[in-house]
Amino acid sequence: MNKFLKIIFMIFLVFLSGCTFNSKLEKYEVSKSNDEVKYNDVIFRLVSEKEEYKHGEEVKLFGEIEYVGEKEEVEIPLSAIIFSIKEIVRDYDIKYRRMDKNEEQAVLISTTLKQGEPYRFMYDRKASYSPKDDNDSYVRFIQSFVDFGFPKGYYVVNGHIELLSGTEEKDENREKVKLESKIEFKVFE
C-alpha cells in the first residue's frame, strides 16, 4: 500500500509541474516577431516567420541585411549574424559555444549588397552544454533542443551583426558598427 501511495504522489507531482509550466507559459504574449533597425543606407532585420509554433514544428528564424541607398550595389565588410536565444520561463540561455570576451570580436568579410535585395542569414539550430558545469535539467533541455527542436517555451532572440561604416573610396575613417535587434516567439503543445 505504501508503494502505491508513493507512485500516486509521483504522478501527481509530474502532473502538477506540467500544469505549473503551462500556466507560466500562458502569461507570455509575443509582442514582436520581427524587428528592424536602420543605419545610414543599411537595414538589419531579425525575423521569426511565426509568432507561435507547435512543439515539433520547425522554428524558422533569420536575419537579413539590406542596402537601400542610391547606388546599384555596394561592398560592405560585415560579420555573420549572431543569434542569442533565451527561454524565459525556465531562464535558460541556449549557448552555441562558450566564448570569452576576446572571441566575441567578429570577423568581417567583404560582401556585395545589391540595392533593395536583402542578404539573408538563416538560423542554424545548434547548442552546447557542459555536463560538468550545467545542471541536469539544463542538459536535458539542450539535448531535447538539439534532437527534436525547440521545446515548448517562450523565447527571446537577440540578433546582431557588425559592419564597417563609410567607404574605402573616400579617405574617411571607417568605424565598426554593431546593429542589434530583438524578437520573440512561443512554442506550445
Residue 103 lies in a domain: yes
Residue 60 lies in a domain: yes
Residue 93 lies in a domain: yes
The domain tally of the chain equals 1
- Measured CA to CA, the distance from residue 61 to residue 124 in angstroms comes to 8
pLDDT score at 175:
84
CATH code where residue 135 lies: 2.60.40
CB of 153 within 8 A of CB of 88? yes
Place of cell 504574449: 29
- Measured CA to CA, the distance from residue 87 to residue 151 in angstroms comes to 9
Average pLDDT of the segment spanning 84-111: 75
Are β-strands 61-67 and 42-48 bridged in parallel, bridged antiparallel, or unpaired? Answer: antiparallel
Residue 180 lies in a domain: yes
Residue 14 lies in a domain: no
Confidence band of 102 (pLDDT split at 50, 70, 90)? very low
Residue 13 lies in a domain: no
Residue 12 lies in a domain: no
pLDDT digits (tens, 9 = 90+) for 173-188: 778 899 999 999 999 8
Q: What distance separates the 2 farthest-apart alpha carbons in the chain?
A: 85
pLDDT, the chain, mean: 84
- Measured CA to CA, the distance from residue 83 to residue 139 in angstroms comes to 20
Structural domain containing residue 59: 30-188
pLDDT score at 97:
53
Instruction: Inform me whether the pLDDT recorded for 169 exceeds 70.
Output: no
Instruction: Inform me whether the pLDDT recorded for 142 exceeds 50.
Output: yes
pLDDT digits (tens, 9 = 90+) for 36-76: 999 999 999 999 999 999 988 999 999 999 999 999 999 98
Residue 21 lies in a domain: no
Are β-strands 52-54 and 34-39 bridged in parallel, bridged antiparallel, or unpaired? Answer: unpaired
